[in-house]
Amino acid sequence: MTDYEVLRVFCGPDGGHGNELGVVRAGAALPDRADRQAFARQLGFSETVFVDDPERGEIDIYTPTLRLPFAGHPCVGAAWLLGVDRLVTLAGEVGVRHDGGLTRIVARPEWAPPRTLRRYGSAAEVDALEVPPPGEWIYAWAWQDEAAGTVRARAFPGRGDGIDEDEATGAAVLLLTARLGRALTVTQGRGSQLLTGPLPGGLIEVGGRVRPVGAAGEDGPQRAGGVGSA
């Protein structure tokens, strides 16, 4: 059995919602990439992260079908869980800042996988969207209040891997922040919240609240269970 934990990343202000993340804290239990991919597919979360070195913050990220050099919600969740001030990903070193109840990461927009950022005229239009057919990774967004920097968004990965809509997507909002060049407060999915802002040197900061599954008000992780490795 391979032990793993489940976190909700980018929770709303009340601690609800957030995108579920599988975390294998003892990455050495599954050292082979094929086994990690099979395990991520078995768990079925939009991403699963394997911790290879907890002190250095070295992590390895998988969707059900792909290995990712970088992804936002796995980095925020892993940073919260490990309590580190940096992470080491395949894309590069990710800065980390713990700010009260928020965990923030600093990354480069070019690390994010390609996304189609599709603007709509109103938040109501975004709310009314149906899941598009597979084939294109679409981040649908609209201003809620442009002056205040508040955005309504939904994410459709389009990979055909069972994740029809991503509840909260750090890499996509990183790209949106880089394009708009300003701080944003993004409400995504059913009620998740992502806080972003540009930094000097072309960097982007993305942050939010993290909670263990089944314990919205608690401040420590829980082990969700075990799954036999492939």
125-154 pLDDT tens trace: 999 999 999 899 999 999 999 999 999 999
Q: What's the mean pLDDT when you consider all of the chain?
A: 92
Closest CA to 44 of 224, 170, 174: 224
pLDDT at 214 over 90: no
pLDDT of 100 reads: 87
pLDDT of 217 reads: 37
CA gyration radius for the chain? 16
pLDDT of 62 reads: 97
CATH number of 116-208: 3.10.310.10
Residue 48 in contact with residue 39, Cβ under 8 Å?
yes
Query: For 7-15, what is the mean pLDDT?
Result: 97
Distance separating alpha carbons of residues 114 and 116, to the nearest angstrom: 7
Whether 2-91+210-217 and 116-208 share one fold: the answer is yes
Model confidence pTM above 0.85: yes
CATH number of 2-91+210-217: 3.10.310.10
pLDDT at 82 over 80: yes
pLDDT of 224 reads: 46
The model's pLDDT over 156-191, given as tens digits with 9 standing for 90+, comes to 998 888 889 999 999 999 999 999 999 999 999 999
pLDDT of 159 reads: 83
Residues 6+ apart with CB under 8 A from 66: 159
- Residue ranges covered by each domain of the chain: 2-91+210-217, 116-208
DSSP for 33-90, please give it.
HHHHHHHHHHH--S-EEEEEETTTTEEEEE-SS-EES--HHHHHHHHHHHT-SEEE-S
Query: For 9-22, what is the mean pLDDT?
Result: 96
User: Which residue shows structure tokens 């991403």?
Assistant: 47
